């Protein structure tokens, strides 16, 4: 049966156009195999193939046929409250409309509503620039519409069908509608619509510091896997923005992804309950009948049966990261979100700057610092500061002091020391100055903190 894509401005009338064939029968929701999860990309986040044998072992044990002696498997419904946006769409309070500038009255009303929202929510963007792109006939928009034609949010994008990617140009929700899940539901609609009506499988966008978190939640990443020859020169490069990519999975219907994950969770929980007693609730010890008194945990049969030991308790109480982790994480996030951080977000590309690594022997960047922080390689604040200082020193060594790069390094370094100055535990009069006393940074630091 040939596939006839819907016209711009409508969604496919038959919901099955979005569906894909599944290797899971409807009568066997509780027997989902890990190969199914792999096919649907759920296992794609495991870092290496080395982990797969362990997963296959789990598959063999967890999803093996049930014997007559095994306890019965009872599926446990998992509570999954739907977002207000989903409920409102089902009840007809909102609808999602795909429009472009086709000169019709209704399209013009919706596009004008989108233009006003983008201009209000993106104040740093020139208003005439927003209007020009929203009304551009090469761009499409998907809008959240309440009756009568009240626009509360939307996305404007430009498709490049021959290159199989689309650029998300603007994305915004009205400020008084941002707690209902509209943003996530809007992106799911966009993904399903684009997949069903075009060969596009990738999105690219430039996100400002406030939008990076949203796009990460929607499956976007800072790692660009598309060849530059595919997109370079086709999308607008925004200074200070971070380019992000989303690779869509062909077998996933994104509007049904939450429900699919719920079914998988129900299946896994049902199998776990067949071999686990963690759901059994035991009464309190008899010794506590007249009040709580100290008792030996091993005297409680259920604790003893669970395999618990005092060493396990001690291990579980140990902090996951060092004592300075949270403060360093906040400091690094503040630095990454600073307007002057854009030259230092990622390692310098040797293809774009061929001689950089001949001049700079110890390169450093904020993404590498983030990785090192997650791996607990900064046990002391001074270790973190030395790497940050390496970024700024490298920049000033390679670039002339009049360049935007050197100026950004000075701004970001000054910002870092101001943030450190506001942390009482890291007072400038304390040990931070002690470890920097022999450094050339000391004079620079005192000069700039005094400003």
The residues annotated as belonging to the active site are: 167
Residue 217 neighbours by CB under 8 Å, 6+ apart: 184
Cis status, amide bond into 60, omega within 30 of 0: no
Question: 133-150: string of b/e by CB count within 10 Å (b at 16+)?
Answer: bbbeeebbbbbbbeeeee
CB 182, CB 144: distance < 8 Å:
yes
Left if phi > 0, otherwise alpha if psi is -120 to 50, otherwise beta: which for 287?
alpha
Checking 67-73 for CB contacts under 8 A at 24+ apart, the result is 70/274, 70/275, 71/274, 71/275, 72/274, 73/30, 73/270, 73/271, 73/273, 73/274
DSSP string, 44-65: TTSS-GGGHHHHHHHHHHHTSP
Which single residue is written with the structure tokens 């207000």?
84
Measured distance CA(349)–CA(357) in Å, rounded:
10
**Under DSSP, is residue 205 helix (H, G, I), strand (E, B) or coil?**
strand
**Under DSSP, is residue 158 helix (H, G, I), strand (E, B) or coil?**
strand
Measured distance CA(239)–CA(207) in Å, rounded:
10
Measured distance CA(45)–CA(103) in Å, rounded:
45
**Under DSSP, is residue 411 helix (H, G, I), strand (E, B) or coil?**
helix
Measured distance CA(163)–CA(296) in Å, rounded:
67
Distances (CA, A) of 397 to 7, 101, 177, 224, 327: 56, 51, 48, 28, 29
CB 153, CB 185: distance < 8 Å:
no
């Amino acid at each position: 049966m040939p596939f006839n894509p819907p016209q711009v401005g409508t969604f496919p009338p038959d919901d099955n156009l979005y569906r894909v064939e599944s290797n899971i029968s409807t009568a066997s929701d509780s027997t989902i195999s890990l190969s199914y999860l792999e096919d649907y990309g759920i296992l794609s986040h495991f870092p290496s193939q080395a982990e797969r044998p362990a997963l296959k072992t789990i598959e063999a044990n967890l999803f093996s046929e049930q014997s007559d002696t095994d306890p019965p498997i009872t599926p446990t419904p998992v509570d999954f409250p739907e977002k207000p946006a989903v409920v409102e769409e089902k009840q007809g309070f909102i609808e999602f409309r795909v429009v472009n500038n086709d000169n019709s009255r209704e399209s013009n009303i919706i596009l004008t509503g989108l233009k006003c929202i983008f201009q209000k929510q993106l104040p740093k963007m020139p208003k005439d620039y927003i209007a020009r792109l929203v009304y551009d006939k090469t761009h499409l928009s998907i809008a959240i519409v309440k009756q009568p034609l009240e626009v509360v949010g939307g996305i404007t994008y430009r498709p490049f069908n021959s290159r199989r990617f689309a650029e998300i140009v603007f994305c915004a929700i009205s400020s008084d509608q941002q707690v209902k899940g509209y943003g996530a539901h809007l992106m799911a609609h966009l993904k399903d619509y684009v997949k069903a009506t075009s060969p596009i499988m990738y999105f690219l966008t430039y996100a400002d510091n406030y939008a990076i978190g949203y796009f990460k939640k929607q499956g976007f990443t800072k790692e660009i896997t598309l060849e530059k020859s595919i997109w370079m020169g086709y999308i607008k490069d925004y200074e200070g923005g971070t380019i992000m990519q989303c690779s869509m999975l062909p077998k996933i219907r994104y509007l049904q992804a939450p429900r699919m994950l719920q079914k998988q969770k129900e299946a896994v929980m049902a199998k776990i309950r067949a071999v686990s007693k963690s759901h059994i609730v035991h009464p309190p010890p008899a010794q506590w009948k007249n009040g709580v008194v100290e008792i030996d945990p091993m005297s409680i049969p259920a604790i003893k049966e669970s395999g618990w030991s005092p060493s396990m308790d001690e291990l579980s109480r140990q902090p996951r990261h060092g004592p300075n982790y949270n403060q360093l994480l906040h400091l690094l996030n503040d630095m990454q979100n600073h307007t002057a951080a854009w030259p230092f977000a990622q390692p310098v590309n040797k293809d774009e700057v061929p001689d950089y690594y001949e001049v700079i022997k110890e390169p450093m960047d904020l993404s590498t610092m983030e990785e090192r922080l997650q791996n607990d390689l900064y046990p002391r604040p001074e270790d973190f500061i030395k790497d940050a200082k390496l970024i700024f020193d490298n920049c000033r060594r390679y670039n002339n002091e009049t360049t935007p790069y050197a100026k950004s390094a000075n701004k970001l370094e000054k910002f870092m020391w101001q943030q450190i100055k506001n942390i009482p535990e890291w007072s400038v009069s304390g040990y931070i100055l002690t470890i920097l006393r022999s450094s050339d940074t000391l004079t620079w630091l005192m000069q700039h903190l005094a400003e």
